[in-house]
Amino acid sequence: MTSTTPPEIAAHVESLIPKFHLTRLLNTDQAGRRISLLGTIDSKPALLVAERAAFATDEPTLTTFPTSLRNIKNLGANDIYAWFLANSNPSEREGDAPPDFKLNLIYPCTPKHIKKYEAQGVRIVTETPEIYAKYVRPYMKAQREKGALDWVFNIIEGRAEQEDVIYRETGDEGFLLAPDLNWDRKTMGSLHLLGIVERRDIWSVRDLRKGMVSWVEHMREKMLDTTVKLYPEIERDQLKLYVHYQPTYYHFHIHIVHVSLEAGTTQATGKALGLENIISQLETMAGGDEAGMQDVSLTYFLGERSELWEKIHLPLKEGRDVKVDDF
């Protein structure tokens, strides 16, 4: 970025930064990527707000990025997923420098992973109970049969990430609580945990029934209690619980995040459903215990390169047949 500031003024303001003397930290937000500092410059009060600059996207820089990282420390690994902390910009204090990168590695990745992370247009769709039963449910079944949930079952069955499980109940109504792989596990303002159910017949929010309300409420209470006990600097009313629809993977799980975690795409309307709202909707449904979320229409957004858009909703929009056998 080229500055339009006259050179003499630019030189003056640039000289002020090294003179900044810290008084205290005012705030940290954007999941730890921005800090607001109070201090003084020449005995006068000053505010300094610092945030991570955007990544350079030129090919030479991106080509050398992986080899430029230092102090790579693995935080965990499960099936094709691994996550790390690392340093950029080698310095004389490499061993002591705090990590400034949180890395996630998916290897080997699939075409579905590539589509998920690639920039793409977004569409709003409404999934009726009929569309769900006729097309989306068979799609979910096909994805589960491809083995995409091995990493989840590794956790449930005790083969991976057991040191990260912070709470567990076993049985048909059992579940476990563990940190989300995108949380750095230290910044409380960006706390993000996952509650994963043990039973395998609940693939998404669509499988919740009116007769399951007491179980869902029990999980909510246990998740809140466990989180505030483990992280006493957080109170219950600083936590929000939600589920995704459509979820990234078809095994029911609940997200527990700090309310100050900035709501990006994954918490936006059309992706996240508040757990308390789901419970209320189930409680007030007409019908018996088998009435449930499979009976309602759900509106959400999809990437134009997602399989759900390409194989189901785009054909329906264009009046073409949905080829269920291709799922």
Which fold would CATH assign to domain 121-326? HIT family, subunit A (3.30.428)
The string of pLDDT tens digits covering residues 163-189 is 889 999 988 789 999 998 778 788 888
Residue the block writes with tokens 């709003």: 124
What pLDDT is recorded for position 196? 96
What pLDDT is recorded for position 91? 57
- Domain definitions of the chain by residue range: 7-105, 121-326
Residue 41 φ then ψ, to 5°: -130, 120
Torsion angle of C-alpha atoms 320, 322, 325, 327, degrees rounded to 10: 130
Domain 7-105: state its class: alpha beta
Distance CA 72, CA 138 (A): 41
**For residue 32, which of 108, 101, 94 has the smallest C-alpha distance?**
101
What pLDDT is recorded for position 2? 54
Report how far apart, in Å, the C-alpha atoms of 22 and of each of 19, 49, 53, 81, 85 are: 10, 12, 21, 40, 27
What pLDDT is recorded for position 37? 86
> In this structure, are residues 48 and 20 in contact, taking their beta carbons and an 8 Å threshold?
yes
Task: Cite the active site residues.
Answer: 253
Q: What is the pLDDT along the chain (327 residues), one digit of tens a residue?
A: 556 678 888 788 888 888 889 999 888 766 667 788 888 989 988 888 887 777 888 898 889 888 888 888 888 888 888 888 888 866 545 556 777 887 888 888 888 888 888 888 999 999 999 999 999 999 999 999 988 888 899 889 888 778 889 999 988 789 999 998 778 788 888 899 999 999 999 999 999 999 999 999 999 999 999 999 999 999 999 999 999 999 989 999 999 999 988 666 667 678 899 999 999 999 999 999 999 999 999 999 999 989 999 999 999 999 999 999 999
